[in-house]
Chain A
Amino acid sequence: DVKVTQSSRYLVKRTGEKVFLECVQDMDHENMFWYRQDPGLGLRLIYFSYDVKMKEKGDIPEGYSVSREKKERFSLILESASTNQTSMYLCASSFSSYGYTFGSGTRLTVV
């Protein structure tokens, strides 16, 4: 089975800190995605990548950036964390048109 691993399950950061969320997948998938999940809002796409060094903005990219230097790793960066970025962050990967495989999520609290 494909495994998508997110480095942290829980994180607490201070307002203004730069935050790195890491995601690694082990099945050579081309496509990787970052979503945030909030109650009543479902999953909203932040950024995605179809290839190494390639990135595309999703629906809510403001305040975030990403990095994909290697095919298996897709990092989400909060340039200056704010309290409204407190959320569950989900990483996913996929091959071509198939369904996504999700990681367990990182619950980020910004205080």
Chain B
Amino acid sequence: AQSVSQHNHHVILSEAASLELGCNYSYGGTVNLFWYVQYPGQHLQLLLKYFSGDPLVKGIKGFEAEFIKSKFSFNLRKPSVQWSDTAEYFCAVKGGSQGNLIFGKGTKLSVKP
């Protein structure tokens, strides 16, 4: 069965620090990969997605993620976080054409002003 692991449960950073959130998945075939964000009190929103092509994907609000097939990883990065990035971040994987999205357990990011 597919699974998604997010390494950090809670990350605390100061503004302007760089961010990297880890995500590993277990699925041997073709995958679609996603990062979602949930700001406090709001619904889940798509940050970025990878289907094929350039493994470095750019998303909204300055976020990017790199798909490394050999490591089964899809880590989320941002060079300089802001207080407004405080949210919970979810990595998700969809394996095959009929698969459902499988979510990781989420990483809470707290950014200190």
Q: Does B103 contact A (CB under 8 A)?
A: yes
The distance from the CB of A17 to the nearest CB of chain B, in whole angstroms, is: 26
Interface positions, chain A 71-111, Cβ under 8 Å from B, are 90, 92, 97, 99-105
Count how many pairs of residues, one from A and one from B, have CB atoms less than 8 Å apart in the complex. Answer: 43
B90 in the interface, Cβ–Cβ < 8 Å?
yes
Evaluate contact between B104 and A45: CB separation under 8 angstroms: no
Chain A nearest CB, measured from B26 CB (Å) = 15
CB of A40 within 8 A of CB of B9, answer yes
Cβ B100 vs Cβ A43 within 8 A: no
Complex contact B94–A48 (CB within 8 A) = no
Q: Are B44 and A102 in contact, with the CB atoms below 8 A? A: yes
**How many B residues, CB 8 Å from partner?**
21
Mark A33-49 against chain B: 1 for CB-CB distance below 8 A, else 0.
10100001111110010
Complex Cα spacing A44 to B45, Å: 17
Q: Is the CB of A42 within 8 A of B101?
A: no
Given contacts A97-B32, A97-B51, A97-B97, contact A42 B46 (CB under 8 A): no
* Complex-state Cα separation, A105 to B43, whole angstroms: 7
Interface size on A, as a range, is: 20 to 34
Contact (Cβ within 8 A) A99 B46: yes
Known A33-B100, A99-B49; contact A42-B106, beta-carbon cutoff 8 A: yes
Complex partner residue of A42 from B34, B51, B90, B94, CB under 8 angstroms: B90
23 A-B contacts, Cβ less than 8 Å apart?
Answer: A33-B101, A35-B103, A40-B9, A40-B105, A41-B105, A42-B90, A42-B104, A43-B103, A45-B100, A58-B100, A90-B44, A92-B44, A97-B32, A97-B51, A97-B94, A97-B97, A100-B46, A100-B101, A101-B46, A102-B36, A102-B43, A102-B44, A104-B42
Question: Nearest 7 A-B pairs (CB), nearest first?
Answer: A42-B105, A43-B103, A102-B44, A104-B43, A42-B103, A99-B46, A42-B106
